[in-house]
Structure 1
Amino acid sequence: MTTTAVPPTAAAAPALAAPERGRLLRAVLSTVHLAAFLAVCVAQGLPTDRLSLLLWVLTGLACRCAGRGWRRAGRLLADWVPLGAVLLLYDASRGIADTLGAPVHVAEPAAADAAVFGAVPTVWLQAHLTAPPWLQVLVTLVYSSHFVVTPLVLAVLWMRDRARWGRYARLVVALSLAGLATYVLYPAAPPWLAARHDVVGEMHRTSGDGWAVLGLPRAQALLHAGQGQVNPVAAVPSLHTAFAVLLCLFALRLVRRRWQQVALVGYALAMPLVLVWSGEHYVVDTVLGALYAAGVGWAVPRLEEVARTVQRRLPGGGASVTPTTFRG
């Protein structure tokens, strides 16, 4: 009786087909997801509400997890659902921070800027420099990027380096909580609101004007509607600036190409300039935002090291008992 040997390549073919099918599935799903996101951006502008952004990120990551088993999907949910819940809770708390009875500081931030510069920079810029259409678009895109960049960076880090994702997620949460605490203790009016109370000279809130230049008035309306739903006196510190600076400080150590380093620094510098020009913040707000980012970036790793040291000294401290969520 003779047996026919099966060629190794023929036996291996089915095993090789499964990974190829998985890659094809992920490519198709990711392409469809990206096309849908771009279509929404073209029709309505960049999404700015936290829930929508989290859903876009989670569905995008789910596309990248397709065909990689249930364990990968479970890790996605275990990592992102708690993080999303914390950030959504932060948003809800921020919305009620101005209802707790603390006096709103309207004149002090304006006086601080005037004492340093001799005039309120927002008022001076809008009075002396007329933004051409291309600059209005740039201002709006930089301002709106705040809502997209942090979730996008977190998504990329989660796919490429879960340990770094955990470190950055903890920094994001810590910075959000630090900002929230300050909003509760020191509610302050931004320039556009101070102008309505005649505390500063005439100026306008122009952060969304670029959408109209791009022919996207619905995007402008959605941005204004979203701005109207959040705490209007959450101006100190500027978290727009804080998160741009936090990204710069975190990512500068990771990138190697000079253009990437220049882009990070440029973004961190462009954000406060845009915020001041568009009437969203005073210069003092943006400086405090940068200091908050630097402070969180310095303090959180040291607090984590202290926690690890204490944990090692506890009985049975050789094995970590910290949950994997936010750990990486």
Structure 2
Amino acid sequence: MSVAETRAVPALDEPAGRRPALGEVVPTDPWRWVRLGLFAAYGVAYLLWFNAKGLVIDRVSVLISIGILLVIANVGRPLYRWGQLIIDFALYSAMWFAYEESRGAADRLGFPLQVESVRNIDRFLFVGTDPNVWLQDHFFETGAVRWYDVVGSIVYYTHFVLPPAVIAILWATNRREWLRFIKRFATTLFIACAGFVLLPTAPPWMAAGGDDRIRLNALPPLYRPTGRGWSHLGLDGFVRLWISGRDWANEVAAMPSLHAGYALFVVAFFLPWIGNRWIKAVLLSFPVVMTVVLVYFAEHYVADALAGFAIVGFSFLLWNRIERWQRHRRLAVTERELEVART
């Protein structure tokens, strides 16, 4: 028996009342401090990048940053974990590249652009009022940046950071929960992509004539101040990069709203883990705040957000039922095996 094995098993002649120390039962991980040091270096590098260029939000950079984070989390792990990492990361990357391809599919299939239809849903819900127009008329000031502009910019950009960060942390800490998360996440994403292809929708800023390539006037002129708060905080370079980068995005991928949907998604996934009802109420306010921000910034209609909430609800309902069926099936198989073993 090796020295490590003798440490892992308490001696038989020890007093009965003595409890072995954790280090005597659970083998120590010599790579733990190496990983912690690399995580710290990663955090410092991210902060330096943020100070120079702002948040990492374009898909390729996000994939690279997540890949680095997962490699750090895997340092010192068994070989099979590296195989899992390669497969899981490849599938995750393919999922996002498929999302990016939805723009090309929409262009090739040529479904008609929705301009008035979604806006009319909002007008019906709000008794003839356009929420985008009302919010900007009452709160937007061209000559001043208010505190809610800064909060709005921060909330808006959590969409590009929060879901990928949760995915990376879950993979590194609990792959079983990561699988539960990613199944629901991918289902939501692919349903949304189908909506983007079949129902290309002009967002409010575009419907108000904000795109020089397609002149629309379904709404009064609206501002699109998503980066206004970051500029106020001194991150003008980040805002310029964002404005130039969004030209490559699918600008008519508005129905349903993934911004609103994933704000609810992250909260809904972790809500069962939280017992305090006040904390639950605070967390549930996040998708509501995100919706208000999206409408105020003229990025989405309220109907877009409601559609995003609906597909998140569907994905959770679908996988909850599938996983319940799988548990019952495994239980039935186990019971049959036990019956056979008794005979």
**SS at structure 1 position matched to 2:253:** coil
> Which residue does the alignment assign to 2:235?
216
Q: Specify the code of the residue in structure 1 equivalent to 2:61.
A: S
Deviations 1:194-228 (A, max 9, x none): 00011101211111211211111111112222321
Partner residue in 1 for 2:150? 137
The letter for the 2-side match of 1:205 is R
Instruction: Give the Cα–Cα distance (whole angstroms) in 2 for the partners of residues 93 and 229 of structure 1.
Output: 12
Aligned match of 1:225: 244
Aligned-partner residue type, residue 152 of structure 2: V
**Cα drift, residue 300 of structure 1:** 2.6
Aligned ranges 1:282-321 → 2 under 5 Å: 282-303=301-322
Pair 1:51 & 2:60 matched: yes
Query: Any stretches of 5+ residues in structure 2 without a counterpart?
Result: 8-22, 210-215, 338-343
* 1:64-75 matches, cutoff 5 A: 64-75=73-84
Query: 1:263-278, aligned counterparts within 5 Å?
Result: 263-278=282-297
TM-aligned CA distance change 1:164 to 1:188, over 3 Å: same
Which residue matches 2:98? 89
Pairing partner for 2:48 from 30, 34, 39? 39
CA distance in 1, matches of 2:279, 2:43: 23
For 1:143-180, what per-residue CA distance to the aligned partner results, in whole angstroms no more than 9, with x for missing partners?
A: 11101111111112112221111011011110010001
2:256 counterpart of 1:246: no
Deviates more, 1:200-209 or 1:61-70: 61-70
Aligned residues: 305
Identity across the alignment (%): 33
The whole-number CA distance in structure 1 between the counterparts of 2:331 and 2:94 is 30
Which segment drifts farther, 154-163 or 272-281?
154-163
Counterpart Cα distance in 1 of 2:190 and 2:37: 38
Instruction: Look up the SS of the partner of 1:211 in the other structure.
Output: helix
Instruction: Give the superposed CA RMSD.
Output: 2.8
TM-score (norm 2): 0.81
Structure 1 or 2, whichever has the larger Rg, is: 2
Q: Which residue pairs with 2:20 in the alignment?
A: none
**How far, CA to CA, are the matches of 2:276 and 2:327 in structure 1?**
34
Given the superposition, is the C-alpha separation of residues 29 and 47 from structure 1 closer, same or farther in structure 2, using an over 3 Å criterion?
same
Give structure 1 stretches of 5+ with no counterpart: 1-7, 319-328
SS at match of 1:302: helix
User: Hey, what's the Cα distance between the residues in 2 that align with 1:299 and 1:265?
Assistant: 21
Matched, 1:204 2:223: yes
Alignment match of 2:38 (pick from 29, 49, 72): 29
Change (3 A) 1:142 1:163: same
Q: Quick check: 1:173 aligned with 2:173?
A: no
Aligned to 2:120: 111
Letter in 1 for 2:204: P
Q: Helix, strand or coil for the counterpart of 2:308?
A: helix
- Cα deviations by residue, 1:84-118 (Å, 9 ceiling, x for unpaired): 21222222224542442111011111122122222
Which residue is equivalent to 1:148?
161
The match for 2:88 is: 79
Aligned pair partner of 1:101 in 110, 114, 138: 110
Matched, 1:120 2:133: no
Q: Are the aligned partners of 1:136 and 1:213 in contact in 2 as well (CA < 8 Å)? A: no
Q: What's the TM-score, normalizing by structure 1?
A: 0.84
Secondary structure of 1:253's aligned partner:
helix
